Amino acid sequence: MGKLCFGLIVGNRDFFPDSLVASGRERIMNKLEEMGFEVICLSPADTKLGAVETFADARKCAKLFAENADKIDGIIVTLPNFGDEKSIAHAIRMSGLNVPVLVHAFNDDPEKLDLAHRRDSFCGKISVCNNLKQFGIPFSLTSKHTEDVDSAFFEQDIKWFAGVCNIVKSLRRVRIGAVGARPNAFNTVRFSEKLLESIGVSVETVDLSEILFKVQQISHEKAIDRWIEDVKKRYAVRVVPREALVTMAKFSMVIEEWIEENQIDAVAIQCWTILEKQLHITPCTVMSLLSEKLKPSACEVDVMGALSMYILQAASGKPSAIVDWNNNYTSDDEAILFHCGNFPVSMYETAEIRFADVIGTTVGSQNAYGACAGKIKSGPFTFFRLSSNDLEGKLIGYVGEGEILPEDPKTFGSRGIARVENLQQLMSYICSNGFEHHVAINLSQTAKAVKEALEKYKGLGIHWHRG
């Protein structure tokens, strides 16, 4: 996740002590900058205490934000005292910014409620939110109604809000690549390009024959050797013949060149069975490396899966994988996650490149080298799936969190055991609503940010499975 920039609005009401506003502004700015964020805020030279209290202040704030519109990823409203509800709402409206807004209020000290120390931010926050509602400005809230900026709650809330902002920012102009046609047997990965375009997501296609032709033309021996050397540093490569590694290197070069030329953010690839029959490889290792480089790469031309990976990546700053909800396990709340596999290399405990066992049964294992095998690292994870409901003309999704267990299932490929509370209820929801068997996963806890960003700021219906 790149460095984010927040526009900060410090609220003020004139009959409260100036000292609380001055110190509050300084404390929150220091905290945000300490956390690595850039902050744009009125200075005491611009308005009284660098706060927003009047319509004139609101105009100055709006002008400052508008001048930095290309930098500001989100707005934080902070209330060191009750604040002026109207000027805050006017400042946001007049700025013209369409970014997430977080409303924060300082704690009062119950032992200091005299005129010199009382804030009344608890009450003022309600009024500010009331005005934002009237103005039609969507906004987010801290987990507690009032919070000290030095508390763990505030820091956690800012990290969450940063994820929300990064998702919204990342979805402004997204380009998903579709390489080849979906497998004929997989109606499940059908989707609506028009619905995606309506939220700012474009799909760029390329015929697989164009990629295959270019692969045959490559003869950059030094570049190929460097690619193979890099792969051997990241994965165990014991059984893969050099000829297959050379072909993988060529395929990687062509795909990455196409991604660069077309400014692709995530890609979905026709991974079987033409590549196995024509190039005698599977593209899994190439896709694994792409995802590791934060270019999410999904199997079976699952464009919605690639977009789901991309959104989780935006929320966490970590690479995502696409998996199958594949098998039941020993508990009703456990399931095996599996794919042939193309998970980002950092997601594995250890990873080995070998042939794809399942595809190998039809094309021959000698034509299926390139699949990654290994167990997913244990720990918390988030799962997410976005889908297009074409019959109702809308995008839908579900999100939730669980745990990848330390145990390694007795199977091959890329795999892990997931524990999700009330998994049976989730499976019923997935089936009843016609979702795909693919789901994006990320080794993070970002479900709340995904739901907030997509539902509140993009207008999508997202089901949050909370167990």
DSSP string, 102-128: EEEEPPP-TT--STTT---HHHHHHHH
Identity of the residue numbered 290: L
User: What tens digit of pLDDT does each residue of 446-465 get?
Assistant: 999 999 999 999 999 999 99
Does residue 190 sit in the same domain as residue 134?
no
pLDDT, the chain, mean: 97
Coil, strand or helix at 466: coil
Query: pLDDT tens for residues 390-444?
Result: 999 999 999 999 999 999 999 999 999 999 999 999 999 999 999 999 999 999 9
339 membership: H or E segment, kind and range: strand 334-339
What's the pLDDT at 115?
76
Whether residue 203 has pLDDT greater than 80: yes
How many domains does the chain divide into? 2
Domain shared by 162 and 188, yes or no: no
Q: What is the mean pLDDT of residues 325-354?
A: 97
User: Does residue 113 have a pLDDT over 90?
Assistant: no
Strands 461-465 and 394-404: parallel
337: domain CATH number is 3.40.275.10
Q: Which domain holds residue 209?
A: 174-465
Residue type (1 letter), 232: K
Confidence of residue 467 (pLDDT cuts 50, 70, 90): confident
Asked if 148 and 242 sit in the same domain, the reply is no
Picking from 148, 170, 192, the residue at the C-terminal end of a domain is 170
Nearest to 28, CA basis, from 150, 195, 159:
150
Residue 1 pLDDT greater than 70, yes or no: no
Task: Clarify whether residues 201 and 94 are in a common domain.
Answer: no
C-alpha pair distances (Å), 369 with each of 341, 344, 461: 11, 17, 40
Whole-angstrom distance, CA of residue 165 vs CA of residue 152 = 20
Q: What is the pLDDT of residues 46-77, one digit of tens each?
A: 999 999 999 999 999 999 999 999 999 999 99
Q: Is 309 left (phi over 0), alpha (psi -120 to 50) or beta?
A: alpha
Out of 125, 150, 170, pick the residue that ends a domain.
170
Q: And the tokens for 378?
A: 């244990």
Q: Is the pLDDT of residue 87 over 90?
A: yes
Could you tell me if 319 and 383 lie in one domain?
A: yes
CATH of the domain at 153: 3.40.50.10940
CB neighbours (10 Å) of residue 71? 13
Are 129 and 193 found together in one domain? no
Q: Are residues 246 and 373 in the same domain?
A: yes
**List of residues 6+ apart from 389 with CB closer than 8 A:** 395, 396, 434
Spell out the residues 6+ positions from residue 30 whose beta carbon is closer than 8 angstroms to its own. none
> pLDDT digits over 138-171, tens only?
999 999 999 999 999 999 999 999 999 999 999 9
Question: Do 217 and 320 have their domain in common?
Answer: yes
pTM here is 0.96
Could you tell me if 207 and 331 lie in one domain? yes
User: Quick one: pLDDT band at residue 111, thresholds 50, 70, 90?
Assistant: confident
Helix, strand, coil shares, percent, the chain, to 5: 40, 25, 35
Scan for tokens 């079976």, then name that residue: 300
pLDDT tens-digit readout, 206-263: 999 999 999 999 988 999 999 999 999 999 999 999 999 999 999 999 999 999 999 9
End position of a domain, from candidates 111, 145, 170 = 170
pLDDT tens digit sequence for 8-55:
999 999 888 889 999 999 999 999 999 999 999 999 999 999 999 999
Residues 294 and 421 in one domain: yes
* Integer-rounded Cα radius of gyration of the chain: 25
